């Protein structure tokens, strides 16, 4: 079965700094997404990572705060910029594999971020 990996798995950062999270898939995917999972809250979609073009952001999320890149079909990065303690969360990428329906999303293991 396909492997979705994320780096780093966890990090502790100081406020005001930025962290870039990587998502790598070892199979062909058609779509990639970034989610946030805060304690006691549901997974929330941040943006759809589009290959070769700007990501599509959901309401409440902006490119300056969460810049996203997707240089090829199987790799994407999410940067959390100018971090504050409110950004402490688990960040997850999800993918749709080629040949499957757009609603069938598979998740990476997540990146646990703590901002001090």
Partner 1 sequence: QKEVEQDPGPLSVPEGAIVSLNCTYSNSAFQYFMWYRQYSRKGPELLMYTYSSGNKEDGRFTAQVDKSSKYISLFIRDSQPSDSATYLCAMSGGTGTASKLTFGTGTRLQVTL
* CB-CB contact of 50 with 57 (8 Å): no
- Regarding 23 and contact with partner 1 (CB under 8 A), the answer is no
- Regarding 73 and contact with partner 1 (CB under 8 A), the answer is no
Nearer to partner 1, 14 or 42 (CB): 42
Nearer to partner 1, 9 or 82 (CB): 9
The residue range among 12-20, 67-75, 78-86, 97-105 that interacts with partner 1, by the rule CB under 8 A, is 97-105
- Regarding 60 and contact with partner 1 (CB under 8 A), the answer is no
Tokens of 14: 């100081």
Provide, rounded to whole angstroms, the least separation between the CB of residue 82 and partner 1.
26
Residue that is written with structure tokens 């309401």 in the block = 59
Residue 96, phi then psi, degrees to nearest 5:
-115, 125
Nearer to partner 1, 45 or 73 (CB): 45
Q: Number of residues interacting with partner 1: please give it, by CB under 8 A.
A: 24
Among 31, 49, 83, 113, binds partner 1 (CB under 8 A): 31
- Regarding 40 and contact with partner 1 (CB under 8 A), the answer is yes
């Amino acid at each position: 079965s396909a492997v979705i990996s994320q780096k780093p798995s966890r990090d502790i950062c100081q406020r005001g700094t930025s962290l870039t999270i990587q998502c790598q898939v070892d199979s062909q995917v058609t779509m990639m997404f970034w989610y946030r999972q805060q304690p006691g809250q549901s997974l929330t979609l941040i943006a759809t990572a589009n290959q070769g073009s700007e990501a599509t952001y959901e309401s409440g999320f902006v490119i300056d705060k969460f810049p996203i890149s997707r240089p090829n079909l199987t790799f994407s990065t999410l940067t959390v910029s100018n971090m504050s303690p409110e950004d402490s969360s688990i960040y997850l990428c999800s993918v749709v594999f080629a040949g499957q329906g757009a609603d069938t999303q598979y998740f990476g293991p997540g990146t646990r971020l703590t901002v001090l």
